Amino acid sequence: MKNLPENNAATLRMQQMLQLLRANYLAELPDRINDINELEHCALALRQAADFTQQFEELYRKLHSLKGGAGTYGLQIISTICHQLEESLTDVAGDGGKIDDDFLDRCVAYFDLMRLALKEAAGGKTSFPEVEAALAAMLPVATSASLTALLVESSKVNSTLYLAVLKDLPIRFSVVESGYEALGLLLHSRFDLLITGQETPLLNGIALIAAVRLNQRINRDIRAILITSSIFVHGIPPEAQPVALINRDERIKAELLREVQNCVRGYDKPA
């Protein structure tokens, strides 16, 4: 593992690059607003679409593109809103019968939050407490699970395995492939549990946990489980210590289930 000063220097360089990209992204604010308006029109047209499946897939594709673009250019708050809306779309599973007034009202609320976040970002804001509070209030509408967890894993095979092992627990999972995308979500949306591989792209598991804790934001005290394929993970700094370190070997299913069950039993959900 790289030493901490090297990691800090790399993080600083990334932040400087993202600041420049972010400024360029916001310089085209009318285009960004237009993208959101097109998404909203696409969502509201779902009930009247002659080919519902095609319209739904088009909406999901455009939303995913907006999410990725905003994340690439340093507007993680937009990516977070998109991610939460994606999960609402996943809940309806392409079933036109589930597209009712409540669902469409929720979609519109997400689009309004995107516009608000863009307006605040264009005004120079780098934190978005009003948007984050609104997102937190909307999340229970989209999920009946008692806890929320973020799974960070670059291998779809591994993430599918982990979700299968944990499927009977009262947890709603969000899944991302890179540590950088996970950090954007963790800075703006509350989660109860973080499960991350160590070998994740752009930001490894240890660096991700440290970044979340050091940022002193809403997930600074999150319980984190670190999974690694290396037996040589040593010298983890205090701010990155996970509640459990699990080796990716033949015992992983039993150990992961046990550790996550421990977290569920020991979790006092904040009011």
Could you tell me the residue range of the domain that residue 70 belongs to? 1-138
Which of residues 139 and 54 earns the better pLDDT score? 54
Question: How would you list the strands of the sheet with 223-228, edge to edge?
Answer: 171-176, 147-152, 193-197, 223-228, 244-247
User: Could you say which of 105, 138, 171 is where a domain stops?
Assistant: 138
Q: Do 152 and 77 lie in a common domain?
A: no
Q: What is the pTM of this model?
A: 0.68
Paired strand residues for 196: 152, 226
For the chain, how many structural domains are there in total? 2
Q: Do 7 and 49 lie in a common domain?
A: yes
Q: Do 2 and 134 lie in a common domain?
A: yes
Q: Do 1 and 130 lie in a common domain?
A: yes
Q: Do 132 and 261 lie in a common domain?
A: no
Q: Do 134 and 189 lie in a common domain?
A: no
Distance CA 6, CA 26 (A): 30
For 223, phi then psi, to 5°, come to: -75, 130
Which tokens belong to 9? 């220097």
CATH at 153: 3.40.50.2300
pLDDT at 98 over 70: yes
For 250, phi then psi, to 5°, come to: -70, -15
Which of residues 4 and 95 earns the better pLDDT score? 95
Q: Do 36 and 126 lie in a common domain?
A: yes
CB 228 within 8 A of CB 241: no
User: Could you say which of 117, 138, 159 is where a domain stops?
Assistant: 138
User: Could you say which of 104, 138, 172 is where a domain stops?
Assistant: 138
Transcribe 98-139 into DSSP letters.
G--HHHHHHHHHHHHHHHHHHHHHHTT----HHHHHHHHHHH
173-195 residue pLDDT tens: 888 888 988 988 898 888 999 99
Q: Could you give the percent of the chain with pLDDT greater than 90?
A: 42
Q: Do 65 and 197 lie in a common domain?
A: no
CATH at 51: 1.20.120.160
Q: Do 181 and 241 lie in a common domain?
A: yes
105-118 residue pLDDT tens: 999 999 999 999 99
